[in-house]
Structure 1
Amino acid sequence: MSDSPAARLQVLFEGHRLTPTQRRIAHCMVRRAADVPFLSSVELAELAGVSQPSVTRFAVALGFDGYPALRKHLRDVAPPETSFGDSLNEYQQAVQAEIENLRHLAEVLADPAPVERAGRLIAASRPLPVLGLRAAASQAYGFAYFAAKVHPDVRLLNEGGTMLADRVDAAVRAGATALLCFALPRHPREVVDALAYARSAGLTVITVADSAFAPVAAHSDLLLPAAVGTGLAFDTACAPMLLGRVLLEAMCDGLPDAQARLEEFDVRAAARGLFVE
């Protein structure tokens, strides 16, 4: 098991039924995992956008006497600081944080069952709508680009607005059974609304999100977490991107003709001189 701050927090939260407000606090703590052991309850409340009493109730829900006891626990289990970390500049620290996110993802994938289930669901959906707005639009586009090489009908939903529900309806009418969503912070409200609508329309929602406590969790049938880096001005999403590629592999396992489609594409690409060797 990874000894990263985010991994320890995920373990701490597992098995607890949290309210939406408490999930918001948990999500904030995961994103600021390295800082949390040194934050006051007031500071954490401000970061999460909740009240200070909500932070106290959250600590009690986790089995602690109050927030000070929770913070003491986090300090006690924190690994000792190393001089190596102190010698890194801010860019190196951002890279190191992403390496930790990838290590945590590798350990999550030690149980391949959730990804394998997701692969079967998205392979069987004809068509397959792939949703990702704003910060997650590039993740959805990348997945859809490669998926279209082996899946017979991939529909990219990377623009919001009033037509988003119409496009979900069109996918359902065409026979879709599942929707794949990439959801990254900051989480657009219309993504949450779109997932709720998709489920009401009968679709099974599979979501790649930055945390199991992200706002989209309540509207997902299967959520696959992959943390984002927060050390730079804009979040970095190496782990969600890699998880998307892992999902592509699992989807191919559920498509008997995937290899034949790839070989057919290579033949056509060569005939057209599509790529420069």
Structure 2
Amino acid sequence: MSGSSPAARLQGLFEGHRLTPTQRRIAHSLVRRAADAPFLSSVELAELAGVSQPSVTRFAVALGFDGYPALRRHLRESVPADGETGAEAAVEPVYNAYQQAVLAEIENLRQLAGLLGDPGPVERAGRLLAGSRPLPVLGLRAASSQARGFGYFAAKVHPDVRVLDEGGSMLHDRIEAARRAGASALLCFALPRHPREVVDALAYARERGLTVVTVADSAFAPVAAHSDLLIPAAVGTGLAFDTACAPMLLGRALLEAMCDGLPEAQARLEEFDAAAAARGLFVE
């Protein structure tokens, strides 16, 4: 680490911590001012990030320090020594916060590729999803776009896909309706921050006899206890809001596995393409 840049050292300090959007703004401000970070007062950092001074204190505590003074001492101790040469410091490229977020997502995808070296869980999930008629797909808040994206493509090959992307008192009713219509499995996308409604909905789904397949950010996510088959795909935490490239790609892999379990999938796709061409849906 002696040759790494101050920005890279700061980014490493933040990795692995679940920070709120406000705390991430503070982190980004420190990365942007990496050279000055060890010398900023809490008031100066608060003004730089556009947050309150107590937010800076909570940020330091979230990183495991007793308070901001302890964090600043740590940063000062981490400043490259005066004896380090410019050539030594230049050994590692200096990436800005946006590039670091992309590189972190690339690492998440590498981890997912390693996980998929054993295709068994995804293939099993594909069979479960293909065999459920209808197929409820659950995703609330941050995970709603994952559920809708999966549902959009799944509907092209699966005869009855029901996307559950809204919470409220009707959620359990919609799960029960799917079960009564013949559903045997439920697919859930669960991403941080994890809504209590999702945990409750999965517990209810299992009580009603549905097999729960879950895509979550971690095998230790709160939904794990209510999932029959959980496949993890990490989210990126380097920007103010999580990025979910790995969960999205895992969703597409599940779609592929589900298609393998649907003998009529190819015929349905060809029918859709023919209908789309006849209607002039696309400009290609």
CA distance in 2, matches of 1:265, 1:175: 25
1:182-220 CA distances to partner (integer Å, 9 max, x unpaired)? Answer: 000000000000000000000000000000000000000
CA distance in 2, matches of 1:90, 1:228: 16
Amino acid at match of 1:132: G
CA distance in 1, matches of 2:91, 2:228: 41
Give the 3 Å change call, closer, same or farther, for CA 151–85 of structure 1 in structure 2: farther
Amino acid at match of 2:121: P
1:73-113 CA distances to partner (integer Å, 9 max, x unpaired)? Answer: xxxxxxxxx96655111100000000000000000000000
CA distance in 1, matches of 2:115, 2:107: 12
1:35-82 CA distances to partner (integer Å, 9 max, x unpaired)? Answer: xxxxxxxx9xx6499xxxxxxxxxxxxxxxxxxxxxxxxxxxxxxxx9
Contact 1:122 1:180 in 2 (8 A): yes
Instruction: Tell me which residue corresponds to 1:144.
Output: 151
Contact 1:150 1:262 in 2 (8 A): yes
Give the 3 Å change call, closer, same or farther, for CA 243–86 of structure 1 in structure 2: same
Among candidates 263, 266, 271, match of residue 270 of structure 2: 263
CA distance in 2, matches of 1:198, 1:93: 39
CA distance in 1, matches of 2:90, 2:129: 46
Confirm or deny that 1:220 pairs with 2:227. yes
Among candidates 244, 262, 266, match of residue 237 of structure 1: 244
- TM-score (normalizing by structure 2): 0.70
Amino acid at match of 1:187: H
- In the TM superposition, what are the counterparts of 1:159-170 in structure 2 within 5 Å? 159-170=166-177
CA distance in 2, matches of 1:272, 1:250: 29
- In the TM superposition, what are the counterparts of 1:107-118 in structure 2 within 5 Å? 107-118=114-125
Contact 1:30 1:211 in 2 (8 A): no
Give the 3 Å change call, closer, same or farther, for CA 263–108 of structure 1 in structure 2: same
Contact 1:85 1:93 in 2 (8 A): no
Instruction: Tell me which residue corresponds to 2:104.
Output: 97
Give the 3 Å change call, closer, same or farther, for CA 86–160 of structure 1 in structure 2: same
Contact 1:105 1:239 in 2 (8 A): yes
Instruction: Tell me which residue corresponds to 1:186.
Output: 193
CA distance in 2, matches of 1:83, 1:142: 42
Among candidates 172, 175, 186, match of residue 179 of structure 2: 172
For structure 1, list consecutive stretches of 5 or more residues without a partner in the other structure: 1-27, 33-42, 50-81
Give the 3 Å change call, closer, same or farther, for CA 91–154 of structure 1 in structure 2: same
- TM-score (normalizing by structure 1): 0.71
Question: How many equivalent pairs are there?
Answer: 209
Identity of aligned residues (%): 79
Contact 2:17 2:63 in 1 (8 A): no
Confirm or deny that 1:198 pairs with 2:205. yes
Give the 3 Å change call, closer, same or farther, for CA 92–167 of structure 1 in structure 2: same
Contact 2:17 2:62 in 1 (8 A): no
Structural RMSD (CA): 2.4
CA distance in 2, matches of 1:191, 1:225: 16
Among candidates 204, 210, 213, match of residue 217 of structure 2: 210
Confirm or deny that 1:158 pairs with 2:171. no
Confirm or deny that 1:127 pairs with 2:134. yes
Give the 3 Å change call, closer, same or farther, for CA 196–96 of structure 1 in structure 2: same
User: What is the DSSP-based 3-state SS (H/G/I as helix, E as strand, rest coil) of the residue aligned with 1:155?
Assistant: strand
CA distance in 2, matches of 1:123, 1:47: 43
